[in-house]
């Protein structure tokens, strides 16, 4: 006797579930998991949609039996944006690229990347982005972090300052791609249902004005990358940034270099994925620290004593365990990558339930990160969890802000170093407070970011040391 399908909404409840996903991916999936269990499912347009909120089940899908699962439907939209970069490619293309790219994020290169991170942050603190903010001024912290990480990604990837003229092209185009892409991600089931025979997702998206604007912005980003590639190729000097490493990389078996198209896809992947997730991680960190003044005060004391007024290096990571813990705990409570999608390639069994081939599986990282069996007081913000002495023995897949298995994010170390050093440098000068009574929620599609930005008041440390905001002062929607 074959195992049963997972429990979940049926009939009209299933139809209501599909309607809700058009406006909010996260809420209906998490609600299904809460109502029906850690492996739950419903039918939608002939497909079984499965929510996974168990660390053990996630391990089975992402690690133990990962060859039985491929990329989910949401990666079709990402492929339009990113081409066949590491995040979207599969099979032999992915294996070849991973083999070439992974060494670029080894420790010997991270030191160079760290220099780009800290120099961009120092410039921002002394310049117009953060240096001219008035005490008590209300700012969109998410926008500031987006602009700063865009500058960093430009320097680390291209060796180019994207805070000037190029940013006037890249910034708005990138914002359009991310914002419109988020909206379209929610509508993937609708797009899929409207596709005529022989029509692909790109054509379906191009049928509406929003989709055409999305494509124009995407074309602008690709044009910038092509221009940088042409300029660098003409110089004949690869350089020590990521583009230089990509240009120099050779397959150890064949001696072949990457094609220009493949390099462009990888640059687009790192530019969008790296920029978006790190800026959101920092934004959520400022929000949680504002609501937890004791944790923030401890961070102030650490960065004051560990780095003072000097520019930190990668070696200073060992001196910033609390700062890093504050970032990692923010990524637990509010993970920028809140879900990983997979498609079952063959029939399988997960946690005693039958998963037919062709099912869409949504691994809810946000639910696993708040599982009370894994995390005491799961809704609370407690960086103590991530101090080195408290991290030993943690169950596998209980914390996976960068995914898991062979396809864990290749830039995870880069992202943690970047977020930690930026948090330290900015906290030496500034603090951000949520206004009393503020309400906000997350915009959750491909990533989780603050909906309509994150308005906070900025305070210079000389003033902010005397400012006290009690936990829970802001209302979180």
pLDDT tens for 23-52 read 777 899 999 999 999 999 998 777 899 999
Q: How far apart are CA 384 and CA 275, in angstroms?
A: 27
- What's the pLDDT score for residue 436? 87
Q: Alpha-carbon distance 240 to 64, whole Å?
A: 37
pLDDT at 33: 96
Q: How far apart are CA 121 and CA 106, in angstroms?
A: 22
- Residue written as token pair 């603090």: 431
What 3-state DSSP class applies to 455? Answer: strand
Q: Measuring CA to CA, which residue among 337, 220, 268 is closest to residue 82?
A: 268
Please tell me the predicted confidence (pLDDT) of residue 466.
44
- Looking at the chain, the whole-number percentage of residues with pLDDT higher than 90 is 47
Which stretch of DSSP H or E encloses residue 431? strand 430-433
What are the CA-CA distances from residue 363 to residues 41, 237, 401, 442 (Å)? 12, 43, 12, 18
Report whether pLDDT(240) > 80: no
Query: Which is more confident, 315 or 173?
Result: 315
Report pLDDT digits (tens) over 200-210: 666 666 667 77
Which pair of structure tokens corresponds to residue 374? 């894994």
Please state, as a whole number, how many other Cβ atoms lie within 10 Å of the Cβ of residue 29.
27
Residue that the structure tokens 């070439």 belong to: 100
Task: Please name which of 37, 28, 35 lies closest in space to residue 351, comparing C-alpha atoms.
Answer: 37
- 442 DSSP 8-state letter: E
Residue 373 has pLDDT above 50, yes or no: yes
d(CA 174, CA 275): 10
* CATH class, 43-476 region: mainly alpha
Question: Rounded to whole angstroms, how far apart are CA atoms 113 and 415?
Answer: 11
- The pLDDT value recorded for residue 476 is 38
Quick: pLDDT tens for 273-306.
778 889 999 999 999 999 999 999 999 999 999 9
Contacts of 182 (CB under 8 A, 6+ apart): 443, 445, 446, 447, 449
Confidence of residue 384 (pLDDT cuts 50, 70, 90): very high
Query: Per DSSP, what are the bridge partners of residue 318?
Result: none
The structure tokens listed for 460 are: 């210079």
**pLDDT in the model for residue 122:** 95
Contacts of residue 314, defined as CB under 8 A and 6 or more positions apart, other chains included, come to 110, 111, 114, 417, 421
Q: What pLDDT, on a 0 to 100 scale, did the predictor assign at position 185?
A: 66
Cα dihedral 20, 21, 27, 30 in deg (nearest 10): 120
SS3 457: strand
Mean pLDDT for the chain overall: 85
Angle between helices 165-186 and 74-82 (to 10 degrees): 160
Lowest mean pLDDT among 137-141, 142-146, 232-236, 365-369: 232-236
What is the percent of the chain where pLDDT is above 70? 87
Q: How confident is the model at residue 427 (pLDDT cuts 50, 70, 90)?
A: very high
Beta-strand pair 47-52/360-364: parallel
At 45-104, the pLDDT tens digits run: 778 999 999 999 999 999 999 999 988 766 776 777 777 888 778 888 888 888 888 888
pLDDT of residue 472: 42
Q: For position 468, what pLDDT does the model report?
A: 43
Find, among 72, 57, 69, the residue nearest to 350 by Cα: 57
Confidence of residue 197 (pLDDT cuts 50, 70, 90): low
- Dihedral over Cα of 400, 404, 407, 413: its sign: positive
What whole-number distance in Å separates Cα of residue 37 and Cα of residue 31? 10
From residue 182, alpha-carbon distances to 149, 210, 451 in Å are 19, 12, 11
SS3 letters for 237-261?
CCCCCHHHHHHHCECCCCCCECCHH
- Inform me whether the pLDDT recorded for 317 exceeds 50: yes
DSSP assignment string, 21-75: HTT-SHHHHHHHHHHH-SEEEEEETTEEEEEE--HHHHHIIIIITGGGEEE-THH
pLDDT digits (tens, 9 = 90+) for 159-171: 766 555 555 677 7
Q: What is the pLDDT of residue 241?
A: 82
Question: Which residues neighbour 392 within 8 Å (Cβ) at sequence distance 6 or greater?
Answer: none
Q: Which residue has the higher pLDDT, 186 or 391?
A: 391
Helices (H) and strands (E) in the chain, counts: 20, 14
pLDDT of residue 166: 59
- Beta strands per DSSP E along 253-408: 339-344, 348-350, 353-355, 360-364
Residue 477: what pLDDT? 34
Cβ neighbors of 19 (< 8 A, separation 6 or more) are: none
Per residue in 127-140, pLDDT tens? 989 999 999 999 99
């Amino acid at each position: 006797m074959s195992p049963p399908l997972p429990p979940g909404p049926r009939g009209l409840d299933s139809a209501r579930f599909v309607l809700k996903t058009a406006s909010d991916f996260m809420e209906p999936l998490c609600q299904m998991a809460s109502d029906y269990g850690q492996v739950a499912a419903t039918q939608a347009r002939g497909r079984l949609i499965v929510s996974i909120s168990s660390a053990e089940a996630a391990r089975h899908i992402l690690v133990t039996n990962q060859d039985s699962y491929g990329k989910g439907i949401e990666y079709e939209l990402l492929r339009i944006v990113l081409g066949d970069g590491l995040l979207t490619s599969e099979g032999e293309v992915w294996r070849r690229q991973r083999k070439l790219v992974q060494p670029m994020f080894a420790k010997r290169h991270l030191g160079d990347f760290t220099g780009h991170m800290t120099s961009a942050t120092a410039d921002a603190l002394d310049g117009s982005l953060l240096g001219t903010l008035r005490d008590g001024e209300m700012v969109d912290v998410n926008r500031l972090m987006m602009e700063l990480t865009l500058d960093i990604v430009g320097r680390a990837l291209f060796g180019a300052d994207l805070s000037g003229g190029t940013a006037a092209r890249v910034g708005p185009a990138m914002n359009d791609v991310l914002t419109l892409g988020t909206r379209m991600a929610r509508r993937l089931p609708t797009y899929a249902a409207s596709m005529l025979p022989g029509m692909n997702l790109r054509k379906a998206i191009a049928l509406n004005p929003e989709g055409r604007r999305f494509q124009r912005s995407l074309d602008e980003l690709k044009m910038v990358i092509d221009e940088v590639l042409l300029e660098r190729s003409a110089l004949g000097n690869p350089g020590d940034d990521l583009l230089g490493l990509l240009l120099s990389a050779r397959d150890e078996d064949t001696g072949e270099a990457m094609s220009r198209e493949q390099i462009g896809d990888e640059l687009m992947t790192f530019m969008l994925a790296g920029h978006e997730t790190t800026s959101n991680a920092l934004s959520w960190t400022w929000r949680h620290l504002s609501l937890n003044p004791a944790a923030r005060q401890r961070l102030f004391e650490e960065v004051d004593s560990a780095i003072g007024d000097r520019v930190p290096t990668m070696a200073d990571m060992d001196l910033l365990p609390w700062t890093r813990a504050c970032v990692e705990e923010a990524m637990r409570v509010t993970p920028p990558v809140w879900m990983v999608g997979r498609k079952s390639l063959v029939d399988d069994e997960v946690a005693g339930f039958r998963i037919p081939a062709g099912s869409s599986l949504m691994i809810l990282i946000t639910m696993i990160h708040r599982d009370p069996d894994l995390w005491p007081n799961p809704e609370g913000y407690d960086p103590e969890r991530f101090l080195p002495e408290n991290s030993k023995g943690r169950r596998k897949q209980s914390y996976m802000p960068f995914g898991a298995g062979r396809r864990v994010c290749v830039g995870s170390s880069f992202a943690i170093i970047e977020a930690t050093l930026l948090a330290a440098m900015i906290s030496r000068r500034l603090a951000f407070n949520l206004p009393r009574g503020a309400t906000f929620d997350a915009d959750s599609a491909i990533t989780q970011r603050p909906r309509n930005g994150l308005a906070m008041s900025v305070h210079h440390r000389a003033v902010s040391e005397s400012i006290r905001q009690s936990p829970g002062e802001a209302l979180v929607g």
